[in-house]
Amino acid sequence: MGDLEGKIAIVTGGGLGIGSAGAKELASQGASVTIMDIDQNAAESTVSTIRDNGGTAFSAIGDASLSLDCERTVSECVSRFGGLDILFNNVGIQPISSYTNVENTTEEMWDRVIAVNLKSRFLMAKYSIPEMRIRGGGVIISTASVQGQQSAYLVPAYAATKGGDLSLTRQMALDYAEDNIRVLSVCPGGVDTPLWRDSVISSGTEIENAIIESGKTHPIGRLGAPEDIAKVVAFLASDKASFMTGTFVNVDGGIMAKGSWA
Ligand SMILES: NC(=O)c1ccc[n+]([C@@H]2O[C@H](COP(=O)([O-])OP(=O)(O)OC[C@H]3O[C@@H](n4cnc5c(N)ncnc54)[C@H](O)[C@@H]3O)[C@@H](O)[C@H]2O)c1
């Protein structure tokens, strides 16, 4: 029996990267998982892998920045599996054209990054919480970032969403503790995902070299793998973390311990 046997979960952005690894880990520990993603092929690939390994999953295709798609995802999950216990609010984007200062950030880009990375947290929680209450409680976990705590250069929209994510986590933890709903964030360091690789490729850096060099900036000496984050998410979702709420866990190979020292 896994730690999450009988639990029902939704993972946003579950088609690729950290979300896909998270969905697979939750399923491997016994949860039935709804994979919400805008990319149908990616979502169905995660679903297939879970099913091939004996797990239970289905895909809900939609845009996590849109209220109707979030509401439909929750209701499809509930009608398919009978409820909802775990929301992994993971989806996130960092478009190449968002790597600039505030003056050169277009309003459209600002709005899109805020909508996908932060508004999605609010929308998915808004529709999930009533279903968790019916089940007597639940867990909401978001993928924030070390960039919610410490700044890099020229990522204003992304950084704002990650700071907002941590603040929303604290807020919801207070407001829903009496409903037995725990709210937590994970803060990854660099993780080798399509999002991370896209940013490397656009900067013109050779990928294998970037993996090594970026790995060296983490005290542990390597980049994270999506599975490194997924295992912590599954722990936080389980009863083993029943006294944890309103906080975040760095899963960053020591980046935050190092701070700004070279
Ligand atoms: N990779 C890293 O180094 C890193 C570090 C810190 C935090 N994070 C955070 O981790 C989370 C996941 O990042 P990742 O690196 O796995 O990204 P990724 O791009 O590899 O995967 C993101 C997934 O989200 C989906 N998606 C994108 N926009 C969507 C939308 N509007 N609606 C529904 N699905 C959508 C994509 O199709 C994809 O399947 C993000 O919140 C990101 O900010 C990543």
Q: Label each residue of 173-242 as H, E or C.
A: HHHHHHHCEEEEEEEECCECCHHHHHHHHHCCCCHHHHHHHHHHCCCCCCCECHHHHHHHHHHHHCHHHC
Query: Half-sphere exposure of 158 toward its Cβ, with a 13 Å CA cutoff?
Result: 23
Give the whole-angstrom CA distance, residue 189 versus residue 42. Answer: 23
For Cα atoms 174, 131, 74, give the angle at the middle one, nearest 5 degrees. 110
Angstrom CA distances, 113 to 15, 16, 108, 118, 163, stand at: 19, 18, 9, 8, 13
Please provide the size of the chain in residues. 262
pLDDT at residue number 243: 98
The single residue of 99, 127, 153, 158 carrying the catalytic annotation is 158
Query: Half-sphere exposure of 193 toward its Cβ, with a 13 Å CA cutoff?
Result: 26
| Per-residue pLDDT of the chain in tens (262 residues, 90 and over written 9) | 799 999 999 999 999 999 999 999 999 999 999 999 999 999 999 999 999 999 999 999 999 999 999 999 999 999 999 999 999 999 999 999 999 999 999 999 999 999 999 999 999 999 999 999 999 999 999 999 999 999 999 999 999 999 999 999 999 999 999 999 999 999 999 999 999 999 999 888 999 999 999 999 999 999 999 999 999 999 999 999 999 999 999 999 999 999 877 6
In order, the DSSP letters of 65-101 are T-HHHHHHHHHHHHHHHS---EEEE------GGG-S-
pLDDT at residue number 222: 98
Cβ pair 81, 8 in contact under 8 A: yes
Q: Is the CB of 185 under 6 A from ligand 1?
A: no
pTM of the model: 0.99
- What region does 70 belong to: left with phi over 0, alpha with psi -120 to 50, or beta? alpha
Look at residues 117, 94, 116, 104 and name the one whose alpha carbon lies nearest to residue 200: 94
Give the whole-angstrom CA distance, residue 160 versus residue 157. Answer: 5
Burial (CB count within 10 angstroms: exposed 0-12, middle 13-18, buried 19+), residue 91 = buried
Q: Is the CB of 61 under 6 A from ligand 1?
A: no
Cβ pair 142, 94 in contact under 8 A: no
Which residue of 195, 218, 228 sits with most ligand 1 atoms within 8 Å of its CB, as the best mutation to test the pocket?
A: 195
Give the whole-angstrom CA distance, residue 98 versus residue 76. Answer: 33
Active site residue 158: yes
Q: Ligand 1: distance of its center to the CA of 132 in Å?
A: 24
Which residue of 10, 12, 16, 45 sits with most ligand 1 atoms within 8 Å of its CB, as the best mutation to test the pocket?
A: 16
Q: Is the CB of 118 under 6 A from ligand 1?
A: no
All structural domains of the chain with their residue ranges:
8-189+227-245, 190-223
Q: What is the CATH topology of the domain spanning 8-189+227-245?
A: Rossmann fold (3.40.50)
Q: Is the CB of 148 under 6 A from ligand 1?
A: no
Cβ pair 67, 93 in contact under 8 A: no
